[in-house]
Amino acid sequence: MISSLISHSWKEKMRSPIWAKNMLANLFLAFAAIMICSYMLILGISLKPLLYKFFPDEDPIQLVNGALIYYFFFEFTIRFFLQNVPVLSIQPYLHLPIKKGSIIHFMLRKSQLSVFNLMAIFTFTPFAIMGVGSEYGALAGFVWWLTIVGVAMTIHFATIFFKKKLNDMPNLLVGLWAVFLGLGALDYFEIVSLSSVSDMLFGAVIGQPAFAAVPIVLWLVFYRLNHVYLFNNTYPEELATKKEQAKISGDFAFLKRFGRIGELIALDLKLILRHKRPRNTLVMGGFLLFYGLIFYTQDTYMEKFDHMFLFVGIFITGIFLIQHGQFLLSWESSYFDFVLVRKTTFKELFEAKYYMFVAFATIAFVVSLGYAYFGWRIVLFNLAAYFFNIGVNAFIIMRLSMMSPKKIDLNKRAAFNYEGVGAAQFIIAIPVLLLPYLFYVPLAIAGYANMGLVLTAVVGLIGFLLRDKLLDWLTKEFTKKRHEIAAGFRAQ
């Protein structure tokens, strides 16, 4: 039975036209996975010598044990957004004389072959041998390693379970983040030291191997919870109506006051909110607003490399523009022929998308004003970046999105999904991130960094003032390529 399901899964992938068309992307993804696991293995081998070098007076095992809780918190966060839920075309099997429980067991067990699980194994296996095993014996090393694997697998199935339950309990995500933020606050204000708690928990396993049973039991508990949930929620009639239940209501009536442009913006917003992949660009854009904390909290950047803040500002105020805009036409690939014939001029189409990008960039800039806590100069960088995004980058991205766009299935998962990715997506990063430096760097080198920011902002402001001319140019370019783009979508 299991061998048949494996064979069916393999044939489904290899015979899929999407697999053949995205062969290069699949090979790249496989290569990236191999490289990540290789780097993690090298890190695991080098971990003990590196800790001895940088912390000669500290016990490396205690340091690793103290850091594990942060590692697993970070892993859970990354898994929540990037780890895909186990998928099998289960509907064709449900009417056959096959135990539904067996199919679900296969789905869950297959999901354990995840790159996230391999990352933990490749990173901590060498340390379990070279660090814990050499210091406390082979049994202690094995039990410590088993604990790491148990925690990683527990997080794996806990992530799947929480993502499934979010459909029924949307407030669950708020509760999870409240717990994480509460623990972070306790650690930040030194009320409770999470590293000490982590060292105590993982160190206890070395002294008393029986404690290793705890993460193994949790692993089995979450496995069982997933199995029960899937068993009770996989029926042919439910799968058939699943899409209707997932709709999000809302007509954005306030946009109607802006006429046809407002109606088109409302349609774009509905598309974003009602489909997985475009919705992910919005969610990730919200989280990446905190990207500046990586740089603004470091004295090195504040004192010596503040020119990097222009790049950070472009990223913060333009993250939605970059993520969503690069697939500008691909989002509508499934009904692109209708786009060409509906009672809307092409200029209105691009006007609506442009003003939507301006609105999101404005919201991002307003939110970024909180970074004034680290200095008002950061606000100047973000202001210059904001003007440059709405006056220059928006039009560059919209034009490059016309370069052989690929078809996208809106309801497919966003993580590790390379549908729609083409040459344009790699080219876009070059002008978007480097072009503002052409105006800023010469004056900064001459000692007039503030004037460089002013020039960058002025160039963007000029582009914004000339938006009608630039939108006319985009409309002409689209008119020339519209049939070629439509034929490409039909062929995919």
pLDDT score of 18: 54
Tokens for 344, please give them. Answer: 């809307």
Contacts 24+ apart (CB under 8 A), 267-276: 268/352, 268/353, 268/356, 269/356, 271/331, 271/332, 271/410, 272/324, 273/248, 274/246, 274/247, 274/248, 275/410, 275/411, 276/410, 276/411, 276/412, 276/413, 276/414
- Residue 83 contacts residue 156 (beta carbons within 8 Å): yes
Q: Can you count the helices (H) and strands (E) in the chain?
A: 24, 0
> How far does Cα 377 stand from its chain's mean position?
29
Query: What would the pLDDT profile of 263-302 be if each residue is shown by its tens digit?
Result: 888 888 888 887 777 887 787 777 778 877 777 777 777 6
Distance CA(9)–CA(339), nearest Å, equals: 36
Q: Which of the 8 DSSP states describes residue 391?
A: I
Q: What is the pLDDT of residue 235?
A: 65
Instruction: Work out the average pLDDT over 36-63.
Output: 88
DSSP 132: I
How high is the pLDDT of residue 285?
77
Confidence of residue 241 (pLDDT cuts 50, 70, 90): very low
Query: Which tens digit of pLDDT belongs to each residue from 401-418?
Result: 888 777 777 766 655 555
Q: What is the DSSP letter of 248?
A: -
* Single-letter amino acid, residue 142: F
Percent of the residues in the chain that have a pLDDT greater than 90, as a whole number: 13
Mean pLDDT of 197-217: 90
pLDDT digits (tens, 9 = 90+) for 365-404: 888 888 888 888 888 989 999 999 999 999 998 888 888 7
Please determine, for residue 484, whether its predicted confidence score (pLDDT) is greater than 90. Answer: no
Above pLDDT 70, what percent of the chain?
83
- Would you state the pLDDT for residue 267? 85
Helix (H, G, I), strand (E, B) or coil at 265: helix
Report helix, strand or coil for 15. coil
CA distance 5 to 322: 40
Distance CA 125, CA 198 (A): 18
Least confident of 49-58, 90-99, 364-373, 470-479: 90-99
Q: Which three-class secondary structure state does DSSP give residue 275? A: coil
> Which carries the bigger pLDDT value, residue 28 or residue 441?
441
| pLDDT recorded at residue 240 | 42
pLDDT band at 151 (very low <50, low <70, confident <90, very high): very high
- Residue 318: how many other CB atoms lie within 10 Å: 27
The position carrying tokens 């194994």 is 121
Give the per-residue pLDDT at 387: 92
Q: How many CB atoms lie within 10 A of CB 333?
A: 23
Average pLDDT over every residue of 217-233: 89
Is the pLDDT confidence value at 361 over 70? yes
Question: Does position 177 have pLDDT exceeding 80, yes or no?
Answer: no
Residues 384, 457 contacting (CB under 8 angstroms): yes
More confident residue, 426 or 50: 50
Overall average pLDDT of the 296-314 stretch? 78
Tokens of 290: 């905190």
Return the axis-axis angle of helices 194-207 and 172-188, rounded to nearest 10°. Answer: 90
Identify the CA nearest to 151 among candidates 120, 112, 191, 125.
120
Place of tokens 């029960």: 228
Q: How confident is the model at residue 28, as a pLDDT?
A: 65
**For residue 265, what pLDDT is reported?**
86
